[in-house]
Amino acid sequence: MSLWRELISDNPLVTDRSILVRRLVGGSQTGRLVLAAVLLGVVLLMLSAIAGLFPQVMTPKAVVYIQTGLFCFLPATMLYGAVASEREKRTWDLLAVAPLTGAQIVIGKYLAAMSLVFAVFIMFLVPAGISEAARVSGGSLFYWAPDAITLPQYIGIQGISIVFAAALGAVSLFVSCLFNRGFTALLTVLTLEAGALILAPILIGVALPFGVDYQAFLSWHPFFAIEILSRVPERGVSNQIADQSAALISPAICVVVTGVALWLAAGSAGVPGAPRRLRDAGA
């Protein structure tokens, strides 16, 4: 069996939509998901209204920044308990003895969560589109947008945002595989994220001598990568090429982190070992 068939096309956690729905809206999660959906809808309506009236403020670039800020929490809150919470509730034993490999369980849970992340990404295209349409048509209170970016730049910063969300989701899932309590896993994920996105830039800024380009050393950071890639193309061809090359560091790191984290999570999904050994003994 090919890897694609094992993990995707023949994986019941991926192909069975009823399982996916239960994982996303079943049980005690229903109320919280409905509340989150309502709040997200209100935020999108507010962003769309601001984008239509003040496109020079709520630019597509600003929408991507807000979207990336949401992605700092959305994948983590959906995947921190993917394994840890099931162990805490003693439901992991039932899943562990099912005819599924650790990789199938990991990929199934990961794709279920990332499908919601992708849905949020699609919804955030609405205020970005309204902002650009208002800017181009002049049908707004102000007719200028100094922070306008080109379509290739917009596609690039959206790619940085999405790949960052994918990497954070993979790391959250791996951390979930290491713990037996969901709260501990969530606290660990948020601590790692705060260290990488907040503490590390501060330490780098303190360590760099005065006058050195601060952003050049933070091109791995998703927010700085978005800023670098969306710079106004008046800096010359050589500087544009340098900016584009530097901005590619962040998504490249995120792709590697995603692959490594999912691989480690697949190897850790069989813990605790008693139910797994029981299933292997009956095979």
Residue-by-residue pLDDT tens, the chain, 283 positions: 566 666 666 666 665 444 544 544 444 455 556 666 777 788 888 888 887 777 777 888 999 999 999 999 999 988 888 888 888 888 777 776 777 777 788 888 898 888 889 989 999 999 888 888 877 776 544 444 455 778 888 999 999 999 999 999 999 999 998 988 889 999 999 999 999 999 998 888 888 887 676 766 788 899 989 988 887 655 555 566 666 777 788 899 999 999 999 989 888 765 443 334 333 433 3
Measured distance CA(86)–CA(271) in Å, rounded: 12
Q: What is the reported pTM?
A: 0.81
| Closest C-alpha to 201, from 225, 178, 185 | 225
**Polymer length of the chain:** 283
Cβ–Cβ under 8 Å, residues 134 and 48: no
Of 160, 153, 156, 157, nearest to 235 by C-alpha is 153
Q: Where are the domains of the chain?
A: 3-282
Cα separation, 69 vs 49, whole angstroms: 20
In contact, 222 and 160? CB cutoff 8 Å: yes
Q: Which amino acid is at 261?
A: A
Longest dimension (CA), the chain: 71
Q: In degrees, to the nearest 5, what angle opens at C-alpha 85 toward C-alphas 40 and 38?
A: 15
264 membership: H or E segment, kind and range: helix 249-268
